[in-house]
Amino acid sequence: MRAVVAMQLRAIIFAVVLVAPCLGLLVTPASKTISQNLDVCKLSSVGAGRLPYALAFGDVAFDKSVSANATKTTPEADNKAEWRAAMADYKVEQQKMQAAEARLMDSMDALLEVPKADPAQLVSFVSGKKSNNLVVFYAPWCGHCQSFVLHDGSGDPTKAPLEAFRKDLAEDDATKLVGVVRVDVQEHGESIPAPFKVEFIPTVYFVNKNGAATVYEGNPGDLAALKSFVITNTIA
């Protein structure tokens, strides 16, 4: 019985933790101050530094009377004993899943060619360092960010839309010198410099050679519109 419960719990955790975030189901979609619905997440949807899981339990204080009455064969004693066993199995599987998810996220990140940028680099962009740069703010827990920055929706990081977009810009004479970087707001959220204001993620900014930062107000997933935005704001 315990083995069956453990298998069921493992299936539930895999489905909710891995599949749902890719579909944007574990975060609250939000819209900006424009009329269209955007594929973005409210930055405050999930607490910073914590990935969303199906269930979140603290240290469970089990009823000691259950152990004392474990030899009784009443339905209540049997049910509580099964609950204790299921909870113990669940917490073991949850810890395994958290470790597996962290490993998966690290391995995907290592395959991404779009470089990460830190607050110091952002300051250099707006200080006028004579380069055009597209800056994408994202968070690993955001489903929309995952399927735009981290992978293609099925888990392949080499086919993530932002990866393909960077290559497209590099192959076009009009945009080949435009840099593309990503900024993890879960890691740097408290240190993002002005004039970058990040309320939703992914949020995209273009910083031209003069250091002027312009926010992209369209849907980040619309790569054709995003490219037009890049071309319009690029200074040769």
Structure tokens at 77: 């004693």
What pTM was estimated for this model as a whole? 0.72
Q: Rounded CA gap, 88 and 215, in Å?
A: 48
Weakest mean pLDDT among 31-45, 156-170, 200-214, 222-236: 31-45
CA angle 132, 134, 136 (to 5 degrees): 155
Kindly report, residue by residue over 86-100, the tens digit of the pLDDT: 999 999 999 999 999
Rounded mean pLDDT of 171-177?
96
Weakest mean pLDDT among 16-20, 133-137, 193-197, 219-223: 16-20
Weakest mean pLDDT among 49-63, 71-85, 114-128, 221-235: 49-63
Q: Rounded CA gap, 63 and 53, in Å?
A: 25
Q: Rounded CA gap, 58 and 115, in Å?
A: 37
Sheet of strand 40-42: strand arrangement: 29-30, 40-42, 200-201
Asked: is 119-233 a CATH 3.40.30.10 domain? The reply is yes
Q: Rounded CA gap, 78 and 199, in Å?
A: 50
Cβ–Cβ under 8 Å, residues 53 and 9:
no
What one-character-per-residue DSSP string does 155-195 give? S-GGG-HHHHHHHHHHTSTTTTT-EEEEEEHHHHGGGPPTT
Give the residue extent of every domain in the chain: 2-28+52-111, 119-233
Structure tokens at 112: 């991404």
